[in-house]
Structure 1
């Protein structure tokens, strides 16, 4: 059998299945590769074996070979240890971004080359194009509701040159229809959601295995204690669920939201109102920026940005500092911009790159909140 020119990352889901189908129908010599990125922790919640069986079944249906690689140790070192360190510091990391950079477009790409392939392909919803200067661009997918360029913003020219996204021009509904017409075993399989190594299980229970509970006070921004939390690292800005705050005397019967975290003092700050001014910010600063093209378009420019996935792109002004970090000012206030998450910049459909959010000018970040000992309990 001729060596496959492209190795398709087979996840056991419908998207990678159709990516392989489209490449095979185009006449491309392909093979599949199933990556195991998380070692079974004995909880019974790991779906890797089911996904592996589905990947094998799809490759059998398509008549292509399939390879297997265990990247769980690389995932632990490159993704999970960072994930834990960020949560322990009170930040909210995005493991999908790191997984793409450290595993899928690094170790998977290396494995494909070891197998003699020139390219890898995945079921991501994104596109690749050339600009007028001959540089590769990462573009949003045709299906804006499924676009995954946000999670791919750490890719550079070398990775894009070796990558194919066969679903970039498709709608998700058409992907499902094509899978069904080809009788692929994954045609009706439910999409996976959430963080891959946590799956369907309770997030707090999972994180508690690695970061022991450290209960503390839940306080209002003016310092009044209104409850207890199991650990500030279990919560993220803008979160409503899991606070377990009942009726509080002197306050309306309205939901409470996380508006700040003080890890050093072990205090979780909450307020009422989905758009509480305590969680709004206009300015942010980032860690070192990654540019898809290799360089910024200018030292000072206007573009749009997302501070989380599935957010409408927001107009902003960007200043690139000499050390590679960014200072960004949005045209309108932004809700619950969260340190540890990714800021991703766009020029229309073109993803310029992204960086980890370091700080914002949200009220509880830009000034120290009242120390709990100085304020009586409610």
Structure 2
């Protein structure tokens, strides 16, 4: 089988490529250049997107004895991920750029080009498992290592894409992966994992958004409409946020207040007590199915954050929407986040949250 191994420069993708080589496949490594100026996205050994990472990926490929190429996706990444991230915050929503990168770049642009070049699958270092159903369909499942499970950020893949993917680390724990990398003599064996948004190297999301969108002074109000503070732009906030509100008027009961809603047109942020964050119903748009067909209304679990807990719920997919009724209320669910639906440990599909109540 001809395998295109996406090599970020981190330990996981390097070991994933090594396993495909050891399995006897015809493997070619590829590193994605996502910025015209790599150091503007991240500097240091963080495992994604820097010039240093591309060098680490090349050294790993050389060690494995496989061909290696760098593909320039800088313009598409900027348009589909960075600009989308800014536009979503401007609209009062909270996007996940890693999901968008998986959807638009790693498993759309790369997979499309790979298939055109005659490759059978794209292999990555994601922690998730692929199995086959009795009908022969490829199914996406949670990883064996629950602490590293990345099935949530892969929930944007459809059934066709999953059929051309390989996740060699799905059955492995992270400590074993590092030991394997060391045994193979890979220089990235002790390289730290990346956690921050790659195009915000200093971790200051609010500052990045302000540089993109500018300052726009607005009101912070309580649930009664009383002005309790001001802000320099609604894009600096997300539903459920507590820190950085700088409120001038304390709550009547003295308790902390949280962001309850964001109104982008009025540039207004509403704050209130924590219990007001609780929602029981989620509506979502742009559904993506990881299976051939989802049942109409059924019982499953829903996850709304990369490392969030799966929540039991009644769910219903339609042609253009997902409706979720949670068994127990959940706090801090923001429009723009992804809702990924599971049947036990199997991903059924995902959709973008458009509203809660």
TM-score band, normalised by shorter chain = over 0.9
Aligned-partner SS, 2:214: coil
Correspondence for 2:306: 309
Distance between the aligned counterparts of 2:243 and 2:38, measured in 1?
Answer: 26
Name the structure 2 match of 1:210: 212
Among candidates 175, 178, 203, match of residue 176 of structure 1: 178
- For the 8 Å contact 2:85–2:97, the answer to whether it is kept is yes
Match of 1:281 in 2: 279
**Contact 2:35–2:41 (Cα < 8 Å) also in 1:** no
Offset of residue 45 of structure 1: 4.1
- Look up the SS of the partner of 2:107 in the other structure: helix
In structure 1, list runs of 5 or more residues that go unmatched: 362-378
1:31-50, CA deviations, whole angstroms, 9 ceiling, x for partnerless residues?
21000123328747455201
* Number of residue pairs the alignment of both structures matches: 352
Distance 1:36 1:338 in 2: 31
User: Does 2:5 align with 1:8?
Assistant: yes
Does the residue aligned with 1:129 lie in a helix, a strand or coil?
A: strand
Which residue in the other structure is 1:52 paired with?
54
User: When the two structures are superposed, what TM-score results if normalisation uses the length of structure 1?
Assistant: 0.87
CA separation in 2, counterparts of 1:100 and 1:316? 26
Distance 1:166 1:50 in 2: 24
Quick one: which of 107, 130, 133 aligns to 1:131? Answer: 133
Deviation at 1:76, TM superposition (A): 2.4
CA distance in 2, matches of 1:44, 1:291: 32
| 1:126 positional shift | 0.7
The answer for the alignment partner of 2:64 in structure 1 is 62
Report the equivalent of 1:372.
Answer: none
For normalisation by structure 2, the TM-score amounts to: 0.92
C-alpha distance after superposition, 1:201-233 (max 9, x if no partner): 421221122211212122222223222212111
Residue 148 and residue 346 in structure 1: after superposition, are their counterparts in 2 closer, same or farther (change >3 A)?
same
CA distance in 2, matches of 1:151, 1:42: 25
**Range that drifts further, 120-129 or 39-48:** 39-48
Is residue 345 of structure 1 aligned with residue 341 of structure 2? Answer: yes
> What stretches of structure 2 of length at least 5 have no aligned partner?
44-48
Superposition RMSD in Å: 2.0
Residue matched to 1:365:
none
Q: Report the Cα offset of residue 246 of structure 1.
A: 6.8
Q: Which stretch of structure 1 is more off in the superposition, 350-359 or 196-205?
A: 196-205
Residues 40 and 199 in structure 2, CA contact (< 8 A), matched pair in contact too: no
State the 1:250 CA deviation: 4.4
